[in-house]
């Protein structure tokens, strides 16, 4: 995030997005109405947003910005458990508002969609593969449904 000061006007703050591989700027988003002093910390807000605060001598401001500049974070696998009765339970963390799907394969070539995971709470998900007992090994992934 950066500022373009204009004499006798409020600061014009802008959120910039950069490609992490090429380090080239890909886009930007002007944020009007940000008072002098500017934001001190940007944090992710939900699946596609940023949040920041500004503290001034006469007021505090909270900004919540939703933008396509913020990439959706992928699901993070947190483990799995082969149950004694045969099914395999996959656990992962993600965002509640994203429609995830669970995929599996055995040959590292052809992914097969298995189904939709269950939300436990606050972005924690699980999926039980009841067909796991038919395979000696199986690979899984949690991805955004498309």
**Same-domain status, 80 and 140:** yes
DSSP 137: -
**What is the Cα–Cα distance from 115 to 112, expressed in whole angstroms?**
9
- The last residue of a domain, from among 23, 38, 66: 66
Q: Report the CATH number at residue 106.
A: 2.40.30
Hey, is 60 helix, strand or coil?
strand
Residue with the two structure tokens 């992490």: 20
pLDDT given for residue 70 in this prediction: 78
118 CB neighbour count, 10 Å cutoff: 10
| Local confidence band at 5 (pLDDT 50, 70, 90 cut-offs) | low
pLDDT of residue 10: 62
Q: Which domain holds residue 62?
A: 2-66
pTM strictly above 0.75 = no
- Core vs surface per residue 80-95: b (16+ CB within 10 A) or e: eeeeeeeebebbbebb
87 & 112 share domain: yes
* % of the chain beyond a pLDDT of 70: 88
Asked if pLDDT for residue 8 goes beyond 70, the answer is: no
């Amino acid at each position: 995030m950066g500022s373009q000061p204009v004499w006798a006007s409020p600061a014009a703050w802008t959120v910039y997005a950069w490609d992490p591989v090429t380090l080239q700027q890909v886009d930007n988003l002007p944020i009007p109405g940000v008072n002098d002093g500017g934001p001190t910390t940007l944090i992710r807000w939900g699946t596609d947003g940023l949040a920041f605060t500004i503290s001034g001598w006469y007021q505090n401001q909270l900004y919540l910005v939703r933008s396509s500049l913020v990439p959706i974070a992928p699901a993070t696998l947190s483990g799995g458990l082969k149950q004694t009765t045969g099914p395999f339970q996959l656990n992962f963390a993600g965002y509640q508002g994203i429609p995830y799907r669970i995929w599996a394969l055995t040959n590292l070539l052809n992914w097969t969609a298995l189904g939709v995971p269950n939300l436990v709470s606050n972005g924690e998900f699980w999926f039980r593969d009841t067909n796991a007992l038919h395979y000696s090994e199986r690979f899984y992934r949690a991805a955004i449904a498309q």
